[in-house]
Structures are given as C-alpha cells and as structure tokens.
Amino acid sequence: MRTKIVAGNWKMNKNLVETETLLTELAAKLPDTTAEVMVAPTFINLVSAKQSLDNSTIQVIAQNMHFADSGAYTGEISADMLLNVGIDTAIIGHSERRAYFGETDEILAKKVTTALAKNMRVMFCFGEELEDRKSDNHFNVVASQLKNALFSVEASEWKNIILAYEPVWAIGTGETASPEQAQEMHAFIRKTITEAYDASIANNVSILYGGSVKPANAVEIFSKPDVDGGLIGGAALKADDFVAIIKAI
C-alpha cells in the first residue's frame, strides 16, 4: 500500500554517542504522524540504534547491503546479517554508491533480487545527473535505471519496494528540484511502471523525493500528488530539522 514516508540517510556521519544523542532527541520530539519515519545510521551503530528505539515507531534501516548470502566479500554486510539484528529494509542504489563504489545497474539488480527474495524491503534510489537534465535526457536515464535494476522483479514483489527519486545534481548541493520538476518526474515514473506492469502497482508504490529537502521547502515538495515523502540527507542530522520535515508530511 502507498504510504507516506520520511527517511533520514545519515551516510558516514555520527559516532556511537552522537547516534544515541540524536535518536533520543528524535524519539522525544517525534510528532504524531501516520507517516513511516526511518533512519539509516552507519552499519556499526545499527544494533545500538535498534535497541535505543525499542519503544519508538521510528524504524532503523540500512544504507546498503551486499547481494551474496555470505563469503569472501571483505568489508561487506549481507541481507541475512541485517535480518538477524532486526533490520528489514535497505537503501539500494544511492547515487554515492553508484558514483564512488562502482555500483552498476547490474550489481543493483542483484542486490534488489537478493533483498526481495529474503522478504526485505528495498528503498531503491535513482536519478539523473546534471548533464542528463541539461541535455533533456533525464526521462530516458530514469527509465533505463528503473528498467535495468527493477523491471525483472515479479509483480507480487513490488509491495516491498519503495522508490526514491534523487536527482544527483540536487543531493547535498543545496539545489532542490522545484516541486513541479519533482511532480513531473514522479508522474513519469508511475507512467513507466504502468507500462511495464500495471496501474495498480504504479499507484501503490511510494515514491520519495530526495535532494536538499529542508524544513523551508518540504511542505511545498510534499504537497505534490505523486510525491509520497522524502529521503533526507543533511537535514536528517539535526533533530529539529528532521522533525520539522516530518511535520511537513
């Protein structure tokens, strides 16, 4: 079912103590909301984050996972390891993973397949680079990212997919897509899914926008009909900003 979601991607920020401090503040200030609220701390703090949010509705999710079940993959974390500590959702395909760690559509497709086979939820990130938008190629790029990594998924597995459209030029830059640009792309994404599957899958998947969402622009972006929430980077690192963005939904 299509739900509203606000998720914070903490990236490689916050040590153990800072994680506990931010989570305590967030849990205390969390407004009443029907939206799902998620945070993605770094791997090393997932277990303690889960413990400290024991009595909270805030969900802890992973920033990444590997496609293999186990084995000689130094430095990697498997889906089973995440599930074993109670983490059932992973971000897959973040633009920083694509840009700095060589994650191709082919690798991402494998990660998606593994996660869904384990009944995990996938928050799949995708989005065009600035040159793609300037050359009016952004719709093609997004369609091919979706097709290459997601469109071999069974129709029945889409219930475990959350999409996060994140134009790369808007991530961490302070430059946000306008609410109209976000709406236009989200509507295009639903149309592309309808063509590949059907309208019911397209209308039931939550599509988040990510890219410099702040308290000042969240209400306007979230007011668009095809925007179901946000994946938040920088502004998720301050409790008051993140709480303000949750209130905006």
Among 213, 243, 245, 249, binds ligand PEP (CB under 6 A): 213
Rounded distance between C-alpha atoms, residue 75 and residue 102, angstroms: 15
Q: What is the smallest separation between the CB atom of 54 and ligand PEP, expressed in angstroms?
A: 26
Count the site residues for ligand PEP by CB under 6 A. 13
CA distances from 148 to 93, 99, 182 (A): 12, 17, 22
Please identify, using beta-carbon distances, which residue of 127 and 202 lies nearer to ligand PEP: 127
CB-nearer residue toward ligand PEP: 41 or 210: 210
Under 8 Å between Cβ of 63 and 91: yes
The answer to whether residue 94 is catalytic is: yes
Distance CA 161, CA 66 (A): 17
Q: Which span sits near ligand PEP by CB under 6 A: 55-63, 70-78, 80-88, 233-241?
A: 233-241
Among 166, 226, 228, 241, binds ligand PEP (CB under 6 A): 166
Is 138 a residue of the active site?
A: no
Instruction: Rule CB under 6 A: say whether 172 interacts with ligand PEP.
Output: yes
Which of these ranges, 74-82, 127-135, 184-192, 206-214, lies near ligand PEP under the rule CB under 6 A? Answer: 206-214
Looking at beta carbons only, is 163 or 232 nearer to ligand PEP? 232
Catalytic hit among 66, 94, 138, 186? 94
- Contacting ligand PEP (CB under 6 A), which of 38, 142, 171, 244? 171
**Stretch of 33-41, 81-89, 135-143, 229-237 contacting ligand PEP, by CB under 6 A:** 229-237
Q: Give per-residue burial for 30-63: e unless 16+ CB within 10 Å, then b.
A: beeeebbbbbbbbbebbeebbebbeeeebbbbbb
Site for ligand PEP in 9-38 (CB under 6 A): 9
Cβ atoms 181, 221 nearer than 8 A = no
- Least separation in angstroms between CB 175 and ligand PEP: 9
CA distances, 184 to each of 143, 161, 164, 198 (Å): 13, 21, 14, 19
Q: How far is the CB of 232 from ligand PEP (least distance, A)?
A: 5
User: Where do contacts with ligand PEP occur on this chain (CB under 6 A)?
Assistant: 9, 166, 171-172, 210-213, 231-235
Residues with active-site annotation: 94, 166
